[in-house]
A and B are shown apart, each in its own frame.
Chain A
Amino acid sequence: MQIVFLLEQVVNGLVLGGYYLLIALGLSLIFSVGGIVNLAHGAFYALGAYVFVTLVDTVGFAPAVAVSPVAVGVLGILFERFILRRFYREDPILSLLVTFGLAMVAEQAIRMIWGAAPIPATMPAAMRGAVIVGPFLFSQYRLLMIAIVALILLGIWLLLNKSAFGRVVRAGIQNPDMVAALGIRLQPYMTSVIVIGVAIAALAGALFAPITIVHPAMGAEIITVAFVVVIIGGLGSFWGVVLAALLVGVVRGVTIHFLPAAGEASIYVLMFVVLLLRPRGLLGESIEKFDK
């Protein structure tokens, strides 16, 4: 019986991994293209949740989930145009500091606009409840979420690997000067990738709002886990992030099964072990411009 129980936690951990993936993916994309360590990523996640709760009562669940990443994505354009763009070729510490400051500004702005008290958010009654498959218990809502995550993952993979857009972006990641020498202006590509990253974070916020507390500090809470996932996976690696998110979900779930009090600590132990054995992360690639 114990084995089945454990297996159930492993399967649940994989589902949970999808949950982390949504945040970590954008973070990894933004780092890859711009060399920006975006500490404000959690703020976009929080904004996504807040836009969702503001809209959901008037427009309904699905439209609110759809509008939220678009609205926050527009903010992302401004973020890239007026802030990030200045830091692409600067020391990463500068972008780290500026996004750190921005994260604080965003959290306080949320406090001023929506108040400090948490905001209630619920899902439609039809989405509540569990599906039991054999010995496994799944939340219907999370299965839906996983389907969305899989679609996004597929979409981004196709975009980066099978399109002309993706070829320029990948070339730009490896060697921006060569891309420029070929007469291609990299700027619009950078903007697009960053807006995609920001929009995915906002979508995560909208999707998580019904199952987690919506309060001003929610962005600061999620950003640490997102970084752990990106670091374990290897900075800049698409599949590394996917693998790491699933691994973090499973390790956390299994730890909570045996020792709930150590649940959150387990992911940091995992990061520690991975970095000791593979300092570049699980699937970390060598990126020419960062190796100089």
Chain B
Amino acid sequence: MNHTPKTISGGLTRRATLQLGLAGAATLGFPSIVRAQGGPINVGHLTPKTGFLGALGEWATLGIQMAAEEINQAGGVNGRQLNIMSEDSINPDTAATKAQRMLERDKADFLIGEISSASALAISQVAARNEKLFVAVGPRSDVLRGDNCSKYMFCTDIPNTVMVNAVGTALKRDGMVEGKKFMTLTADYVFGHDLLKAAKDFFDRNGAELVADELVATDLTDFSPLLIKIRQTNPDVVCLNLAGNQVTNFVKQYSEFGLPYPTVGFNLNTADAWAAGLGNLQGTWPTVWYHTLETPESKAFVEAFKAKYDKIPENHAWISYIALKIMAKSIGETGSAETPELIKYLESGAEFDILKARPAHFRAWDHQLIQEAYSFTVDPDAEDEYAMIKLGEAVPAADVDLETIYPDEKQNSCKL
């Protein structure tokens, strides 16, 4: 899984040694030619491909590869091809090491990717130290846009607060919040803690009571002790702030035990729902995108993805696809892959087509992509796992300012 450099074992022939020496001399002697303006744009892509977020990272990789192929087949960006270097980020330590290597040795022009908020924090620090751009594609922690925001980091996914708001709006409409007793299960790392905070704020604002909250290790696979605890606690609603494989395992086992309490979730990636299979998932959940979205651009993307990979794209495939397209447009417009120019352009409020009804833009003061979100519900009688997810209306409604679902400058502590 780690890409370790190949070592040369055994004796080298004289010819091989000469060739190696020549090749080495060539790279040392003429670096400017190797990195000429017409050369490829090197993109360092890091995303978890193993571990509890690994399944999501595989989707992210498919999405970014498809975007790169489309761009390169159309002649590249200003005539330069995109060279995607894609690696498994594994954990925050390894992610930071690989990020440094990509920038230093592999001459990446910018970094992109990640799903884990913890790894994204580590990569962001490396990017800032090297004064290079990092597009945090999939992580959702508010802290990445708040206390730990960075001049060099731009975030494309919806943050935890928006997910809570998207689901919360639907729950309030159904009378499932005020006066209700909630029990939460939360992924025990920076993302989960952050989501729990957003959830607590929401409960406080809307008259709900949090009767128990449990932190769950990310490598937990058997939830039966917690299911027993849920029954002992006897809440009105079970609320899930879990991540990755945790969601799938919980949903399967919750259905296995057949507990009567309704579940809601403030985080779900549709791959985790699909992996649970038909008849296991229930409740109301947030999403950033789903393949049934009724816009011509989104439909075209879904068709192209199906034609290429013979499967339906998941939201991490979509977001990695649009993230690279955003970067390609930015480089195309500024005519450069240099960091200061790119930051200036991204902060300018330029609009990007992200295949949704309304275009998106980055906020200059906290570098997050302002876009529509959705809630979805589950159809228990659907014919397959793809059809069981029923996408709700976009949040906010078409005539309301997109900013209303995002934290404003008073609520968000980001100081760039």
Contacts and interface: CB of A to CB of B under 8 A. Distances in A.
Interface of A: 5, 8-9, 12-13, 15-16, 19, 115-123, 125, 128-130, 137, 139, 141-142, 210-215, 217, 221, 252-254, 256-257, 260-265
B249 A260 contact: no
A278 to B, nearest CB: 26
Contacts of A264: 217, 219-220
A256 to B, nearest CB: 4
A211 B253 contact: yes
Contact of A130 (B58, B258, B272): B258
A251 to B, nearest CB: 11
Contact of B279 (A116, A122, A256, A262): A122
Contacts of B257: 129-130, 137, 139
Contact of A221 (B188, B221, B229, B248): B221
A139 B58 CA distance: 33
Given A211-B252, A264-B220, 15 more contacts: A16-B224, A118-B245, A120-B278, A123-B256, A125-B279, A129-B258, A130-B258, A139-B256, A142-B224, A254-B225, A257-B225, A260-B188, A261-B215, A263-B216, A263-B225
Interface string B253-271: 1011111000000000001
A263 B220 contact: yes
A116 B309 CA distance: 12
A261 B188 contact: yes
Contacts of A123: 256
A74 B251 CA distance: 33
Max count, chain A CB within 10 A of own CB: residue among B219, B229, B245, B256: B256
B255 A128 contact: yes
B275 A212 contact: no
Interface of B: 49-51, 54-55, 58-59, 188, 214-217, 219-222, 224-229, 231-232, 245, 248-249, 252-253, 255-259, 271-272, 274-280, 311, 314, 385
A130 to B, nearest CB: 5
B224 A215 contact: no
A119 B37 CA distance: 45
B275 A214 contact: yes
Contacts of A141: 256
Contact of B228 (A8, A125, A215, A265): A8
A212 B258 contact: no
Contacts of A256: 220, 225-226, 229
Contacts of B219: 221, 264
Contacts of B245: 118, 213, 215
A120 B279 CA distance: 11
B247 to A, nearest CB: 9
B54 A217 contact: yes
A270 B68 CA distance: 49
A289 B229 CA distance: 47
Nearest to B309: A115
A254 B226 CA distance: 10
Contact of A117 (B229, B255, B271): B271
A240 B311 CA distance: 47
Contacts of A116: 49, 54-55, 58
B248 A118 contact: yes
Contacts of B275: 117-120, 213-215
A252 B279 contact: no
Contact of A118 (B55, B224, B258): B55
Nearest to A127: B256
A128 B258 contact: yes
Max count, chain A CB within 10 A of own CB: residue among B51, B214, B224, B226: B224
A65 to B, nearest CB: 16
A263 B215 CA distance: 10
Contacts of B221: 212-213, 221
A16 B258 CA distance: 18
Nearest to B56: A117
A119 B385 CA distance: 11
A15 B227 CA distance: 14
A272 B72 CA distance: 54
Contact of A210 (B224, B256, B272): B256
Given A122-B278, A211-B253, A217-B50, A15 B224 contact: yes
A145 B258 CA distance: 17
Nearest to A2: B232
19 contacts: A116-B49, A117-B55, A117-B59, A117-B274, A117-B314, A120-B274, A122-B280, A142-B256, A212-B253, A213-B55, A215-B54, A252-B225, A253-B225, A256-B229, A260-B214, A260-B220, A261-B217, A262-B217, A263-B216
A265 B217 contact: yes
B172 to A, nearest CB: 29
Contacts of A117: 55, 58-59, 271, 274-275, 311, 314
A118 B231 CA distance: 29
Contacts of B271: 117-118
A248 B216 CA distance: 18
Nearest to B55: A118
Contacts of A211: 249, 252-253, 256
A268 to B, nearest CB: 11
A211 B226 CA distance: 15
7 closest pairs, A vs B, by CB? A120-B277, A118-B275, A129-B258, A256-B225, A116-B58, A122-B277, A213-B248
A210 B252 CA distance: 7
Contacts of A13: 225
Contacts of A122: 252, 277-280
Contacts of B248: 118, 213
Contacts of A128: 255-256, 258, 279
B142 to A, nearest CB: 21
B252 A212 contact: yes
B252 A213 contact: yes
Contacts of B224: 12, 15-16, 139, 142, 253
A96 to B, nearest CB: 19
B226 A260 contact: yes
A260 B256 contact: no
Nearest to A116: B58
B275 to A, nearest CB: 4
B228 A9 contact: yes
A116 to B, nearest CB: 4
Contacts of A8: 228, 232
A252 B275 CA distance: 26
B166 to A, nearest CB: 25
